[in-house]
Amino acid sequence: MRIVISLAQSLVVALLIGCSPALEWRTLPLSDLALEVGLPCKPERAQRDVPLVGQTVKMTMQSCEAAGVTFAVACAALAQPSGAGAALAHWRAAVLAAAQAQDAKDEPFQPHGALGLPQSVRTRATGVLPQGGAMQLQAAWFARVRQSSVDVCHAMVYGSELPRALADVFFEALVLR
């Protein structure tokens, strides 16, 4: 009975969040990342070279902020596909270190079409916001084959408060194209 009540409460929260005037969810194709995402705001695009497991990769990121919550998705193509698992683990460690994350809890995360790697996880943690103050974050790392390379990707949502239902909507809307 508790499970039914908990599920009903989660559904109500998700509906309230989805109907919130500050969060106008829309499905957006991110063609340069070959992803489709659900976002409540118009993303800005950035691209830069970053070191990742012994190679420099061009990372493309799209992010936006709504109602005090930041949503971000980033991908990079690896020249050496065999390093995908190590790249995901390295990226996860770097993000959690930068966020001064504590109490990180992982669960498997594999969007349809992603590689079945043990490093493909969704992580929940607490940390410190870039401008200071407590932060709740959820982030996911996954990889997939695309053309002649392997893309490693990262999706993240964080804010001073982060209802689980809000993060669930974001991660469930990720679709590989």
pLDDT in tens, the chain (177 residues): 433 333 333 333 343 344 444 578 999 898 878 899 999 999 999 999 999 988 899 999 999 999 999 999 999 999 888 999 999 999 999 999 999 999 999 999 999 999 999 999 999 999 999 899 999 999 999 999 988 789 999 999 999 999 999 999 999 999 998
**Annotated domain spans of the chain:** 2-176
What is the reported pTM? 0.85
Q: Which residue has the tokens 């943690």?
A: 125
- Tell me what pLDDT residue 159 has: 97
Tokens 């499905």 locate to: 27
SS3 141: strand
pLDDT, residue 22, reads 58
Q: Looking at the domain 2-176, which fold is it?
A: Protein Transport Mog1p; Chain A (3.40.1000)
Asked if residue 47 lies in contact with residue 66, where contact means CB atoms within 8 angstroms, the answer is no
pLDDT of residue 98: 95
In terms of C-beta density within 10 A (0-12 exposed, 13-18 middle, 19 or more buried), how is residue 64 classed? middle
160 close to 136: Cβ distance less than 8 angstroms: yes
Q: No. of H helices and E strands in the chain?
A: 3, 10
Q: Which helix (H) or strand (E) holds 172?
A: helix 164-172
| Helix pair angle (164-172, 2-18), 10° resolution | 70
